[in-house]
Amino acid sequence: MLRSLKNLVWKNMKTKKQGLFIILSSPSGAGKTTLAKKLLKNNKNIELSISYTTRKKRPLEKNNKDYNFVSEEEFEKLKKKKYFIEWAKVFNNYYGTSLIKVEKINNKGKDVLFDIDWQGSRKIKKKLGKNVVSIFILPPSKKELIKRLKKRAQDPDHIVKQRLSFYKMELSHWKDYKYVLINKNLSDTVKKIKNIIEAERYENFVPVKSLTKQKIKAIYEAKRIAIQKKNLILKKIRSL
């Protein structure tokens, strides 16, 4: 199945029907799911890869829209059938990405958006490689992260505490990503992600001769953000 997806990507490249594999990751509460929803709004070129999970549904979540909620028994059956392109255990619950559904989105020539953690990101990059755009989202501060986790009030206190206990470990994987953004202002962060996606499309799919000044400017801006993580972001990480 994985080979068929790689062949499909190659076929789409030859027919100019291409899409990116966009990964959004962050520590719990940094805002990646909210950012994903904002990116998907009024954007027909991006489609979300809806993960499977064994965790309990939160009050405001909808099955088959936010996640595909399944039992551990169902998840294990799908895992044995090699249904997932990646899967991981996070906070005592299983999460997995459907290979078939990723194929369907890619077959439309659309960008596939993954709302996954560092474990899933590592596997996606290893298995797909080409055209993968990885973005790590940071909270402006640990204080703000705690505030956001408590404000959303969709998890019991012991789960919130558990998520906070893994904060430093999740944070340590920021170096694995091409881009790192601080989500201080939601609108500004969404705008930066859109710029990154636009630049990656130009750089990966548009012939050099066809690049306009505007497109080249977008590529340089994305590269500036990527370079920024090596200095400014490093200082920020140390303060979190």
The pTM of this model reads 0.83
The 10s digit of each residue's pLDDT in 20-53 is 999 999 988 788 989 999 999 989 999 999 999 9
What pLDDT score was predicted for residue 13?
42
Q: Between the CA of residue 226 and those of 116, 191, 215, what are the distances in Å?
A: 20, 15, 17
Lowest-pLDDT range of 50-59, 95-104, 123-132, 212-221: 212-221
Per DSSP, helices labelled H in the chain are 2-14, 32-40, 72-80, 99-107, 118-128, 142-152, 157-165, 167-171, 186-205, 213-228, 232-239
Q: What is the dihedral of CA 18, 209, 39, 118, to 10 degrees?
A: 70
* Residue 210: predicted pLDDT: 78
CA 234 to chain CA centroid, nearest Å: 21
Residue 15 has pLDDT above 50, yes or no: no
Helix H or strand E segment including 98: strand 93-98
Provide the CATH number for the domain around residue 62: 3.40.50.300
Distance CA 228, CA 222 (A): 10
pLDDT in tens, 114-173: 999 999 999 999 998 889 999 999 988 878 877 777 766 566 677 677 777 778 888 888
Q: How many domains does the chain have?
A: 1
Domain ranges, residue 227: 2-239
Strands 111-115 and 21-25: parallel
Question: How far is Cα 199 from Cα 226, in angstroms, rounded to an integer?
Answer: 12
Mean pLDDT of 212-228: 78
Rounded Cα distance between 143 and 139, Å, is 9
Task: Give me the pLDDT at residue 237, please.
Answer: 65
Closest CA to 45 of 8, 20, 25: 20
